[in-house]
Amino acid sequence: MSKETFQEKLIVFTAPSGAGKTTIVRHLIKQYDFLGFSVSATNRKMREGEEEGKDYYFLSTEEFKEKIHQQEFVEWEEVYSGQYYGTLKSEIERLWSLKKYIIFDIEVNGASSIKEKFGDNAHVVFVKPPSLEILIQRLKNRKTETEASLKKRIRRVKRELSFENSFDYILVNDVLDTTLKEAEVLTESFFFGKLI
């Protein structure tokens, strides 16, 4: 890709937890070498198997709050009480300096902020589960939640589903192979002007 044709654009996949956005984003990253994944920052503890700078930038609560104060985030949110997530301006600059189109896997409030900031240079795709019941079952099947944290997550999921018409495109994740193909078409269309 020549320097002249590169535009600073980004695509965002957003969804309630368990809808499948991470699976879609991982597929697209494997499929297209022109994409650079925007690694979010968080103050939560690193989980087993996670890597600094690959899964997240792990910050202390004090470091995260200082970066908020210094306006180093494009977007950030206290997703759960005391648990922060956000996108560092330096991460976007890093990826664009590598001439990468940026792909995001973030929650709905962050996606709204990205769209507001970047306008037509950002394409936000809302990944929707086939139904609320299926989504709740997917969350239960993960077996990563306590009963209390699952209830909290389900309350949040219900609120996030109400955002579906706020974004550029709704992608229903029912049959995964079909969803992945549709995500490929969306990505190529946005970055290279192929109409769908």
Based on the number of CB atoms within 10 Å of its own CB, is 171 exposed (0-12), middle (13-18) or buried (19 or more)?
Answer: buried
* Whole-number pLDDT of residue 156: 82
| Residue 51 falls inside a structural domain | yes
pLDDT digits (tens, 9 = 90+) for 110-152: 999 999 999 999 999 999 988 888 888 887 887 777 788 778 7
For the whole model, what pTM was predicted?
A: 0.88
Number of domains in the chain: 1
Kindly report, residue by residue over 32-90, the tens digit of the pLDDT. 999 999 999 999 999 889 999 999 999 999 999 999 999 999 999 998 889 999 999 99
Question: Residue 109 sits in a domain of what CATH number?
Answer: 3.40.50.300
Whether the CB-CB separation of 12 and 123 falls below 8 Å is answered with yes
The reply to whether 2 falls in a domain is no
Q: Which two tokens stand for residue 73?
A: 């985030």
Determine, yes or no, domain membership for 136: yes
Neighbours of 181 (CB within 10 A): 12
Is the pLDDT at 195 greater than 50? The verdict is: no
- Are 10 and 121 spatial neighbours (Cβ–Cβ below 8 Å)? yes
Sort strands 122-128 and 169-172 into parallel, antiparallel or unpaired: parallel
| Other beta carbons less than 10 A from residue 2's beta carbon | 6
Q: Is residue 168 part of a domain?
A: yes
The domain of 43 spans 10-192
